[in-house]
Structure 1
Amino acid sequence: MASIKKFQVTFDCAEPERLARFWCEVLGYVVPPPPEGFATWDAYKQSQPTEQRDAWFACTDPTGVGPRLYFQRVPEGKVVKNRVHLDVRAGTGLVGEKRLATLEAECARLVALGAAHERTLYADEDNESCIVMRDIEGNEFCLD
């Protein structure tokens, strides 16, 4: 019998802390306490060599249920479509116009945080509506 393992989702990005804080707002995640021995994240950053400062950041689900999100700085920018993306389950259990209105309201909230609305996929005979978006560094995700 296979064991269940915890996992984290890792984002390659240009500005780890900025992107982490964006996703905290999207998901209701929190920034964990700074590493042991440091009163603040700024104090931790100042202790690092210049080339390592702002190299990574993380956020966690305060309930402990969702995966940790880890953001690591990479030198290259995003150039192709994501092979994996997050579905933010904002409309779970809702159907029709009520679902669409809920997704549109969440889309407006996220656009105000810097996300971009790509397109709305309207319900058909097989699927309910969802909204395709991009985060502040261009990574695709869906409001589902």
Structure 2
Amino acid sequence: MARNVQITFDCADPAALSAFWAEVLGYRLPDPPGGFESWDRALDAMGVPPERRNDASAVVDPEGAGPRLFFQKVPEGKSAKNRVHLDVRAAPGLDGVARMSALEAEAGRLVALGATRVARHEPAPPLGAGHIVLTDPEDNEFCLD
């Protein structure tokens, strides 16, 4: 039986990191629970004090196809390279110069949103199609593939 997957990020600022990834992936914040017109109203009803409202955040694929991303506040900072990372498929079906041009265009957009460019890996056929490594605003590595 197939399972739904949620990808969880430990972070310092869940609201900011969820906003970044929503822009990267074309995701959105989930709707507030039924019967509430906003998350603030729902959190008020749940008794969550204002100073705790950035303890967690999430974003979802508006089409319902991709995994939910969940962001949880943790006290410690990132201390090592990710063992798991996201590959953002920005150039499917393209190769060579066209692929790398599409990846560069997307890298420029993401850097403007707060990503940091780390490295460009040139195509190396037959197995290496080329990709760009970036980090999100909290230094989590991801690839444009």
> Per the shorter chain, which TM-score range?
over 0.9
Q: How does 1:87-98 map to 2 (within 5 A)?
A: 87-98=87-98
Confirm or deny: 8 A CA contact 1:45 1:54 kept in the other structure.
Answer: no
Task: After superposition, give the CA deviation of every residue in 1:63-122 in whole Å (9 maximum; x if it has no partner).
Answer: 111000000000001111011000000011100000000000000000000000000000
Give 1:14's aligned amino acid.
Answer: A
Counterpart of 1:9 in structure 2 is 7
Q: Percent identity?
A: 53
Q: Gapped runs of 5+ residues in structure 2?
A: none
Counterpart of 1:116 in structure 2 is 116
Q: Gapped runs of 5+ residues in structure 1?
A: none
TM-score (norm 1): 0.93
Give the 4+ runs in structure 1 shifted more than 6 A: none
Task: After superposition, give the CA deviation of every residue in 1:7-57 in whole Å (9 maximum; x if it has no partner).
Answer: 100000011111011101000001111233432223344541355321100
Q: Does residue 1:137 correspond to 2:135, yes or no?
A: no
Give the number of aligned pairs.
Answer: 142
Counterpart of 1:85 in structure 2 is 85
Q: How does 1:7-86 map to 2 (within 5 A)?
A: 7-46=5-44, 47-50=47-50, 52-86=52-86
Confirm or deny: 8 A CA contact 1:28 1:61 kept in the other structure.
Answer: yes
Give 1:85's aligned amino acid.
Answer: H
- SS of equivalent to 1:57: strand
